[in-house]
Each structure stands twice: as structure tokens, then as C-alpha cells.
Amino acid sequence: MKLSERIERDKITVDLEYGDPPSTPLPWQDHNGRLIPTIDYEVTLFHGDESMTFDFHTGIGWDREPSVRDILDALLSDAAGIENAGCFSDWASEYGYGIDDDPASVRVIYDKCEESAENLRRVLGDKYDDYLWETEHDR
């Protein structure tokens, strides 16, 4: 089943508000330490009686607000990376972080992804694995 079909079937919605720039810009720096400009949102994702609120960022090249599908697709991608890696060092290696990268800043990104995956598992409940592994991610 396509992601957009699951979203419609399960009545997943989002509340999207323009947010403040990240208080810790480190994850949004390029490898030379330059800040990457972003459009910042505060998102609340709803599924049944469950919800999760988080910051969501797009690049300045986006010409529209992100949709429920865009947001959930990004969350699922991050969650799959966490689930597949199993530990921080495997995750860091899989995403191309190496010995030249500051391990503390890389750990911040990993911890955010792990927290997001845990929250997504709570919100989707018993549908989490189906969304993660049995969904065609339509673009």
C-alpha cells in the first residue's frame, strides 16, 4: 500500500506552524561549518488519540509547505535508519560520519532520530512496522 493511501485510511493529520530557527544549529551545518538556511516549522502529528510534536525543517528551495506525506515520509526514513543500524556506531558509519566528524555533534543527530523513532512507534502503535516496512513511499 502507498504511504498516501495509508495516511488517508488511518486519518493521520498534522498541525503545521512556522517555528523558530533551531536553538542548536550544529545539525544544520555543512561539513565546512557553514549554516545551511532552513524554513522551520513546529509540527504536531495526530493519529487517533495519539500525537507527537517536533521541529521540522525544509531547505529554502521548497516552494510549498510540507504535506502530511512529506513529513511522515521523513520521519519513517529516519526511523528506518535507526531500526536498521541497531547502534550509534553502525548508524554513524551508514550515514557517512567518520573520524573527522565531531562525535558529540553526530551523537546529537542520532539521539534526535532515535527519540523521533520512539515517538513515532508510540503514535502509530501496532501499525508502526507496517508503515516502516510494508509501505511503498510514493513521491
Nine-digit cell string for 43: 509540527
- The answer to whether residue 28 is domain-embedded is yes
Per the DSSP assignment, residues forming a β-bridge with 53 are: 44
pLDDT in tens, 78-132: 999 999 998 999 999 999 988 778 888 899 899 999 999 999 999 999 999 999 9
Structural domains of the chain, count:
1
Nine-digit cell string for 60: 529554502
Range of the domain at 116: 3-133
- The answer to whether residue 138 is domain-embedded is no
- The answer to whether residue 95 is domain-embedded is yes
- The answer to whether residue 89 is domain-embedded is yes
Report the pLDDT value the prediction gives residue 101, as an integer from 0 to 100. Answer: 81
Torsion of CA 54, 39, 11, 80, to 10 degrees: -60
The b-or-e profile of 47-85 (16+ CB within 10 A means b, else e) is beeeebebebbbeeeeeeebebbbbbbebbebbebbbeb
Give yes or no for residue 25 having a pLDDT over 60: no
